[in-house]
Structure 1
C-alpha cells in the first residue's frame, strides 16, 4: 500500500483542527498564532506569557478592587515587580516552575530586555493612574506591549541547526514595535467598556480634555450611557494613529518573511489578521463600543484563521 505523504497545508489544517478556540483566553491572538510553530517553540511561548501574566494580573487585579494603589502599598508592589524580574537571574533548578523558565530562556536564547521593559511598564502602573499624553501612552506601550510582541517575534524568527536554536538575523525590537503599538491602540478601544468597569483607563488625558470629556463621562458611557460626539472624535484620532502603525506593521512583515520558516511565516500572517479583525469592527460613526460589539466570537476567530491558511503562500 502506498504511504500518503503529509503536505505542509495538511499539517496546517491538522493544527487548525486541534485548536480549541473557546478555551484560549489569555494572550489569545499570540497563542493561536504560536500553535502553528513546532510544539517545543509553542511551549516556550506559553512559559514566557504565563510568567508575564502573573505580574500583570497582580497589579491590574488590585486596581480593579481599589481603583489606585495607596502610597503606603506602592513600595511593596515595586518590590514584588523586582522580585519577579529577578526570578530569571536567581531562579532555582529545584523549583519546577522556575526550572522551566530558566530552561526556556536558555534554550531559546530569549533576551533579557523585553522582560526588563515589561517590568518597567508595570512599575509605571504602580505609581500612575493613566497617561497624561498620547506620546506617554505610546512610550508605555514600549514595555507593556512591545515586550510580549518581541518575545513572539524572537521565537518566530529563530532558526534551528543541529538541534540548537539560533537567534533571528533581524532587529527584533524594530520589527516588533509597530505591530505592538498598533495592537495596543486597537485593544484600548476594544476593551473600553471592560477596562472602565474595572477602574482602568488607558485613554490619554490630553485627548480626553481635547474633546471636552472627563473620566467620569467615560465611565458613564462604559456603563451604557449615550456615546458622545467628543468620544467618537477621540476614537477617530486613535484609529488614525493606529492605522499608520498598521501600514508599518505590514511592511515589517513583508521585510522579514524571507528569513522565517514557512510555519512561522503563517503564524505572523495569522496574528496580524486577528488584530485587523478587531480594527475592522471599530465603527466610529455609529458604534456603541461595547465589549460584545468589538470582540469577535471564537467562531469568527476560527473562521478568519481558516481564511488565512486557505490563501497562505510561502515566500
Structure 2
C-alpha cells in the first residue's frame, strides 16, 4: 500500500527541485498543478541522489573516496529501493519518499527510469572510464534519458482515480531518448569550463573525443583557461553529435504535438527551444559562447514564461 502525500510534502520537493534552477524546472512550472506535483516529487528524488554523487562523493579526496565507495554504492541501492517502493530507509527524506509513494508509484511509469539513473550513478561512483561514444550512450540511458522519459511521461499521461496512466502509442522513452541526449550534450558544452574546473571526474566526455581534439581529461580545465585550440575542436565534435540527436528529436516533437495538451506541448517545445538557441550560440566562437551562455539562458527562460500568457 502506498502512502499519501500532503501539500507540505510536495512543497518540500519543490524546494529541493528549485535548488538546481534548471531549465526543466522552469518548463515544469507551466504545467497544471497535478502534473507539477508529479514533476516535483520525481525530480527532487533524482536531484538528491545526483547531488549526493556529484557534489559530495566525487568531490572528496581519492583516499576518502576509496574508503567510502562501498557505502555510497549501498546508498544508491537504498535510494533505488525507496523510489521503487521496496524500502523506507535511505537517502530520501520522509517528505520526498511520501510524495514518491503517493504520487509517482501509483502511476504506470514503471521501474526503468529509477533503475537507469541508479546504474549511471553507480558508474560514476565506481569511476569507470568513458572510453568511447558507445560508453557515452550507455551512460546516457540513465543520466539523461531516464529523467527525459519521466518528463515526457508526465506531459502525456492521463489521470484516473488510480493516478497517472500513459496513453502514448509508443513507450515514452521512444520520444524522450533523442531529445534527452541533445539537451545533455548542450549541458556539457555549456558547463564545460565549470565542470572541468571543479573536477575531471565531472567531465562526461568520451576519452576518444578528447584524444581526437588533442586534449587530456585531467588537463581540460587548464586547456579551457589557456583557450587551447583543441577546445573548439572538441566543442565542434560534441555539436556534431548533438545535431544528429536534435534532428531525430524534432521528429519526436512532431509526433508528440497532436498527443499532448496545449500547455504540455508548449512547455516541452519551449524547453527544447532554449537548448536549440544555446546550441546555435556555440556554433561560432566557442569561448564567446561560453561567456554569453548564462545571460542568454536567463533571457530565454524569461521569454518562455512570458510567452506562456499568449502562446
TM-score range, shorter chain: 0.7 to 0.9
1:204 maps to 2:235: no
Q: 2:75 aligns with which of 76, 80, 86?
A: 80
Gaps of 5+ in 2: 1-16
1:59 maps to 2:53: yes
Over 3 Å counting, the alpha-carbon distance change for 1:136 and 1:74 in structure 2 is: same
Aligned residue runs from structure 1 range 182-221, under 5 A:
182-199=182-199, 200-221=202-223
Measure the CA separation in 1 of the matches of 2:100 and 2:233.
Answer: 44
Between stretches 91-100 and 297-306, larger displacement belongs to 91-100
Secondary structure of the equivalent of 1:151?
helix
1:28 maps to 2:26: no
Over 3 Å counting, the alpha-carbon distance change for 1:161 and 1:142 in structure 2 is: same
Structure possessing the higher radius of gyration over alpha carbons: 1
Measure the CA separation in 2 of the matches of 1:26 and 1:126.
Answer: 21
Kept in 2, the 8 Å contact 1:182–1:242? The answer is yes
Over 3 Å counting, the alpha-carbon distance change for 1:242 and 1:78 in structure 2 is: same
Residue 269 of structure 1 corresponds to: 269
Kept in 1, the 8 Å contact 2:41–2:104? The answer is no
Structure 2 length normalisation: TM-score? 0.83
CA RMSD of aligned residues (A): 2.6
Deviation at 1:182, TM superposition (A): 0.4
Residue 41 of structure 1 corresponds to: 35
Residue 18 of structure 1 corresponds to: none
Deviation at 1:219, TM superposition (A): 1.5
Structure 1 length normalisation: TM-score? 0.82
Measure the CA separation in 2 of the matches of 1:241 and 1:68.
Answer: 36
Deviation at 1:195, TM superposition (A): 0.5
Deviation at 1:210, TM superposition (A): 1.6
Kept in 2, the 8 Å contact 1:189–1:289? The answer is no
Measure the CA separation in 2 of the matches of 1:131 and 1:235.
Answer: 17
Residue 105 of structure 1 corresponds to: 104
Kept in 1, the 8 Å contact 2:103–2:163? The answer is no
Measure the CA separation in 1 of the matches of 2:234 and 2:66.
Answer: 31
Deviation at 1:300, TM superposition (A): 0.5
Measure the CA separation in 2 of the matches of 1:198 and 1:293.
Answer: 20
Deviation at 1:191, TM superposition (A): 0.5
Measure the CA separation in 2 of the matches of 1:180 and 1:164.
Answer: 25
Measure the CA separation in 1 of the matches of 2:196 and 2:156.
Answer: 36
Residue 117 of structure 2 corresponds to: 118
Measure the CA separation in 2 of the matches of 1:25 and 1:274.
Answer: 19
* CA displacement, residues 254-301 of structure 1 (integer Å, 9 cap, x when unaligned): 1121111111111111111121132122144452564x4323456402
Aligned residue runs from structure 1 range 117-266, under 5 A:
117-128=116-127, 130-161=129-160, 164-169=163-168, 170-199=170-199, 200-222=202-224, 224-225=225-226, 227-266=227-266
Kept in 2, the 8 Å contact 1:257–1:265? The answer is yes
Gaps of 5+ in 1: 1-22
